[in-house]
Structure 1
């Protein structure tokens, strides 16, 4: 699998992959995706990582590098929208994309990388732990949109 940052030509296929994460969500148009992707990249080090098998995108996550005023100004990173195509799960592709995202965060000078999951499924929690993440903080959120079923 080849892992790289996404480019403009990836957006239609990436939007199809996101259906494996939130199949009931209202679909995003390619035009809106382009606009939001360009805004994301305004934060240096931020982008969408994709894992490709030949021409097919099979895994992805979004890396956001956030400027910071503490920790001597070292930024921190947030990983979101982690998804692997359902036909390609349990093959290590998702973990490989997370590993590359974490390495990109370290290269950007981040002092930590965070992610949240709404899932309580043991297999999902084990996936993140096996990818090197610790479940050692308490997360809180407010949602404008209802959470997806987990």
Structure 2
């Protein structure tokens, strides 16, 4: 499989949004203008990059990678892999595997001691995919919906 992976430029944001618009990823996506504004803001982070995988010139996958400095773990960095998407038409063809190998190599080059990602409970195929890559389920992931938070119990 001949595939290239490169950092996303402002010019390729519409392709990333197209990948996000797939039914099993996001119901709604940002407008191109909104995405461009956020992309500019992301550029101010020291090590937060968005990547796009191409095959035969076509956008076939994307992921975001955030490298975080830590005071713990003797200053070793950690990584968060986010927004992993492969085009429906290219699933099961090794695109995700190549993207994750690329991401993990970037993490190693940056001196990360671990790479993390989270996946919605409903994405069982994705869980198997990550396990097959060597990711292990570690602890619990908790979140709180800050848009429609649940009522907190009174004291």
Question: Structure 2, unaligned stretches of length 5 or more?
Answer: 149-155
User: Considering only CA atoms, is the larger Rg found in Structure 1 or Structure 2?
Assistant: 2
Note the 1:30-45 alignment, pairs <5 A: 30-45=32-47
Q: Tell me what 2:27 maps to.
A: 24
Counterpart of 2:120 in structure 1 is: 118
Report Cα offsets for 1:49-100 as digits up to 9, x if no partner. Answer: 1110122111111101122111122221111111111111001101111111
- Superposed structure 1 runs of 4+ greater than 6 Å apart: none
Question: Any conservation in 1 of the 2:25–2:85 contact (CA below 8 Å)?
Answer: no
Q: Give the aligned length.
A: 145
Q: CA RMSD in A?
A: 1.7
CA shift in 2, pair 1:144/1:5, >3 Å: same
CA distance in 2, matches of 1:95, 1:145: 33
- Give the stretch that moved more between structures: 115-124 or 52-61: 115-124
TM-score by length of 1: 0.87
Q: For the residues of structure 2 that align with 1:107 and 1:44, how far apart are their CA atoms?
A: 15
TM-score (norm 2): 0.84
Offset, 1:43: 2.9
Q: Which has the higher contact order (CA 8 A, sep 6+)?
A: 1
Cα distance in 1 between the residues matched to 2:43 and 2:104: 17
- In the alignment, structure 1 segments of 5+ residues that lack a partner are none
- The aligned runs of 1:63-82 (5 Å cut-off) are 63-82=65-84
